[in-house]
Amino acid sequence: MSAAPPGVELRPLRWWDLDAVLGAERELFGPTAWSAESFWAELAQPNRRYLAAVRGEDLLGYGGVMVNGADADVQTLAVAPAGQRQGVGAALLQALAGIAADLGATVLLLEVAAGNAAALRLYERSGFERIALRRRYYPDGGDAVIMRRRL
């Protein structure tokens, strides 16, 4: 896995992390937050891998990737306020890219809210390029930017 910031451990996301994940989802994504059922379904899929970034017992962030042959897709990536601007998101993203490559993917895709400037900067610094715009993609009417990185 990728180097995490000092004091932060990247490890597989486990079912017992879901209470903290759901709290972060509600705080970060509001009405578009994933449900517990969505996370359970994701964790049950054999072609998905999810990671948690933790400091001690505190969940700082989490992310997941789906791999289908040569293509992989970042399913979600989130960093709680306590972990922001510390390299947690970059470490999670790099670790997910490494997992995807290890499983045979050559391309990593993701979608991000067009208004999420911090996430767009992170992805661009991490080698992603904008390839498309999906208008009114999110339930709140927001647009999604589709991004790609070759692995």
The Cα 25–Cα 103 span in angstroms is: 27
Mean pLDDT of 139-146: 93
Task: Tell me whether residue 2 is in a domain.
Answer: no
Task: Tell me whether residue 42 is in a domain.
Answer: yes
Angle at 4 between CA 148 and CA 98, to 5 degrees: 40
Give the 3-state secondary structure of residue 28: helix
Query: Domain range for residue 13?
Result: 9-150
| Predicted local confidence at residue 1, as pLDDT | 46
The DSSP call for residue 138 is S
| Predicted local confidence at residue 138, as pLDDT | 87
Task: Tell me whether residue 114 is in a domain.
Answer: yes
pLDDT in tens, 55-93: 999 999 999 999 999 999 999 999 999 999 999 999 999
Task: Tell me whether residue 99 is in a domain.
Answer: yes
The edge-to-edge listing of strands for the beta sheet with 71-79 is: 9-12, 48-55, 58-68, 71-79, 107-113, 144-150, 129-134
Task: Tell me whether residue 4 is in a domain.
Answer: no
pLDDT in tens, 101-124: 999 999 999 999 999 999 999 999
Task: Tell me whether residue 3 is in a domain.
Answer: no
pLDDT in tens, 10-56: 999 999 999 999 999 999 988 889 999 999 999 999 999 999 999 99
| Predicted local confidence at residue 11, as pLDDT | 98
Task: Tell me whether residue 108 is in a domain.
Answer: yes
Q: Strands of the chain (E only): list them.
A: 9-12, 48-55, 58-68, 71-79, 107-113, 129-134, 144-150
| Predicted local confidence at residue 2, as pLDDT | 52
Structurally, how many domains does the chain consist of?
A: 1
| Distance of alpha carbon 33 from the chain centroid | 13
Whichever domain contains 125, its CATH number is: 3.40.630.30
Task: Tell me whether residue 1 is in a domain.
Answer: no
Region for residue 28 given its phi and psi (left: phi exceeds 0; alpha: psi -120 to 50; beta: otherwise): alpha
Q: How many Cβ atoms are within 10 Å of 108's Cβ, its own excluded?
A: 25
Query: Which are the catalytic amino acids?
Result: 111, 123
